[in-house]
Amino acid sequence: MSNFMNYIHFPIYSVMVLFLGAFLIVVLGKNKTLRSIIAVLSVSISLACMIALIKPVMVNGEVIAYWMGNRVPAGGYAIGIAMEVDALSLFFGLLISTAVFVSTIYSIQYMAHDENIPQYYTLLLMLAGGVMGLVLSGDIFNMFIMVEILTFAAVALTAFRNRVFGALEAAFKYLVVGCMGSTCILAGTIMLYANAHTLNFAQLSAIIPGNMNTSTKIAFALLFVGFSTKAFIVPFHPLAADAHGAAPASISVLISGVLTKSGIYGIIRLTYFLFQTMGLSTFQFLLVFIGCVSMFLCVTMALAQHDFKRLLAFHSISQIGYVLTAVGLFTAVGFSSGIYHALNHTLFKGLLFLAAGAVLHETGTTNLDELGGLSKKMPHTTVLFLIGAFSISGIPPFNGFASKWMIYQACYQKAVESGNIGYVLVTVICLVTSVLTLASFVKVSQSVFFGRLPEKYENVKEVSFGMRLAMGIFALLCVLTGLFPDLVGKYLTQPAATAAFNASSYIDAMLGEGYAASAMGPFLPAAQNVVFYEAGVWSPMSWLLIMCIVLLAITIVAVTSKYDRVSAVSSGEADAKHALFFSGEEAVYSQVGGSDLFWGFKHNWRHYFSFMHDLHSGILNDYALWAVVDLALVMLFMLIVL
């Protein structure tokens, strides 16, 4: 019994209990109470296993190697399938298990009136098991298997409410482009196996850096693009908007907070461990560039949305851009702040999607043009939503402020250390994105929760306790992780960052002490002295910075709301009704409706938004072509740079 409860077995328990729960619901799921118990128990055990590993892994620095069938390495050669838990994989495992737990709690009452509920819980647990298996796997082919499981579960859940307009189309787009990404991962895995004759991730990490030929470079490009499709970074961002718009809110939490993290995790493992290319400034540029483009492009796309969930979907990818940018800096503070923001993103974006689900559950719509005044009928949901909105906008004392401030600092430090002025521009892009995020959520708050309540929503009521409980868990965590960034750093992000900068320790833990040095020889990365120098989040300088952000937000709104009278479309005679309030301006200048609160900004940027509208055609063939072009460009980049 004592051996059964040894924490060494917890990684396999955390994955298998989810798949076992999915199987039991298929068999016993007709009973509503029983299936709810099975689902909640499965996700609770998985979460408990992850929490139990914090002390040995995060605090004591242990790397757990779990070999299936007890087939340990022989003579330094991996002969079996392995699972591994270092601080990095445990960090992502904690994110996943927390999001899945809260989503399951929310689902019990949110999905109560839907059909085919047993199938819903089966797919939810399969999705959770796939992502958990991916981040804990020590075998690259097993990672591909888990990618396949999570992809098809996510596609099915996107189409679950198949009577919702656009659900089947969104699922089909996700299926096609998602399978293109999975195929890239499989092809890259095959090419690596052909070169190294092993599938063990640690052993590949020891062999590949010293054997970079044309085929391994192409494999890198294939794997990078494959995992990029799972993270939904540009140019794969339209898939997230379509999937979020159609999927139940409880699944949007997982797509945003779990699936995107699986892609980011894959990219980190590729660049920091498998190919160990992050020491090259060109690769740092690649990740930072993609992150900045995703960050800025998607926040502007969010401003143009009139649907609550689609708006949140674009914000989700914008926030992932922050994560990729910080990770791409290849500094201890940058990496730590990047995954800190990944943690915060899971929390505040999960909260926001659950709030959107609550609005949909009670009103039947997420159209910003039809909503308004719901704070009078749903006060608890309003408060919880505002916590999420303050968090994502980077307002203290919530968690988004802490991680964004650390990212600003990391970008500035990188500019000073490298002498590259471009990283100052990156800091500016991060700040402007934060301002536009704040503007966007001012718009959403006005459109949904404040203003006039439409007559048809006079009978709307607050959502059930179970749904509010799930939102409350996320809201509480948003506050706690914002108030205590030092504890988050000490016990979560800094151990994970230390693990990322010591690939040789990971290799030795899996294959035996000294294996990395003997296998890699001159390609062995130098030991990293990981130092986390940070100015305090709550220092006076931080408050000065936030004041500057607020002033910049006001300036941008004021400047971009000043229209060009020559280029504006004339409406003829001035509107006498509004002459006093608008100082005699023509009616065309008074576009300040709820969902278009920043109409003036969009008017001045109309050429940009018109271009983006034409570019995002919604046609699957175009998105598939984007994937092919992206693969070609990344492949060319790898062949030139490596």
Task: Please indicate whether residue 541 or residue 221 has the higher confidence score (pLDDT).
Answer: 221
Maximum C-alpha span of the chain = 88
Least confident of 97-111, 429-443, 560-574: 560-574
Q: Which DSSP helix (H) or strand (E) runs through 353?
A: helix 332-363
Q: pLDDT-derived band of residue 575, with 50, 70 and 90 as boundaries?
A: very low
Three-state SS at 382: helix
Per-residue pLDDT tens digits for 505-515: 888 888 888 88
- What are the pLDDT digits (tens) for 464-496? 999 999 999 999 999 999 999 999 999 999 999
Nearest Cα neighbor of 181 from 215, 143, 229 is: 229
pLDDT, residue 563, reads 38
Most confident of 64-78, 264-278, 410-424, 573-587: 264-278
Confidence grade of residue 534 (pLDDT, cut at 50, 70, 90): low
Mean of the pLDDT values across residues 350-367? 94
The type of residue at 522 is P
pLDDT at 578: 39
Average pLDDT (161-183) is 91
Q: How confident is the model at residue 608 (pLDDT cuts 50, 70, 90)?
A: confident
Tell me how far apart the alpha carbons of residues 368 and 302 are, in angstroms, rounded to a whole number: 12
Instruction: Compute the residue count for the chain.
Output: 642
Does an H or E element contain 84, and which? strand 82-85
Check pLDDT > 80 for residue 604.
no
The dihedral region occupied by 533, where left means phi > 0, alpha psi between -120 and 50, and beta the remainder, is beta
Mean pLDDT of the chain: 86
Residue predicted with more confidence, 177 or 601: 177
The pLDDT tens digits for 288-315 are 999 999 999 999 999 888 899 999 999 9
- Predicted pLDDT of residue 569: 40
- Reported as a pLDDT band with limits 50, 70 and 90, residue 184 is very high
Is residue 357 within 8 A of residue 106, CB to CB? The reply is yes
Return the percent helix, strand and coil in the chain, to nearest 5: 75, 0, 25
User: Of residues 556 and 105, which shows the higher confidence score?
Assistant: 105
More confident residue, 240 or 341: 341
- How confident is the model over 80-89, as a mean pLDDT? 89
Yes or no: say if 478 and 388 are a contact pair by the CB < 8 Å rule.
Answer: yes
Considering only residues 604 and 535, tell me which one the structure prediction assigns the higher pLDDT.
Answer: 604
Q: Which two tokens stand for residue 615?
A: 């570019």
